[in-house]
Amino acid sequence: MSDWPWPRKLNPLYEEVEAESIAWLESFKPYTQDSQRAHNQGDFGRLAALVWSDAPRDRLRIANDFMC
């Protein structure tokens, strides 16, 4: 994305909402510890925060949960 011609804007709620979504997913224990750690490194919350850069907190959370 270093050559991306448009401004890159990240939703300022990204870190807070991503942490909540990860905790929510982990509560179901769908993966082994190693697999969960690898999944979390995918940084899907960042993608959601880039796509929905102006979304309010509740909508960003929904997007994060779907991306997980």
Residues 6+ apart with CB under 8 A from 31: 39
Rounded CA-CA distance 34/20 in Å is: 20
Is residue 49 assigned to a domain? yes
Is residue 3 assigned to a domain? no
- How many domains does the structure of the chain reveal? 1
Range of the domain at 43: 16-67
**SS3 per residue for 4-66:** CCCCCCCCCCHHHHHHHHHHHHHCCCCCCHHHHHHHHCCCHHHHHHHHCCCCCHHHHHHHHHH
**pTM metric for this prediction:** 0.84
Q: pLDDT tens-digit profile of 32-63?
A: 999 999 998 999 999 999 999 999 999 999 99
Q: pLDDT tens-digit profile of 2-39?
A: 787 888 899 999 999 999 999 999 999 999 999 999 99
Is residue 4 assigned to a domain? no
Is residue 10 assigned to a domain? no
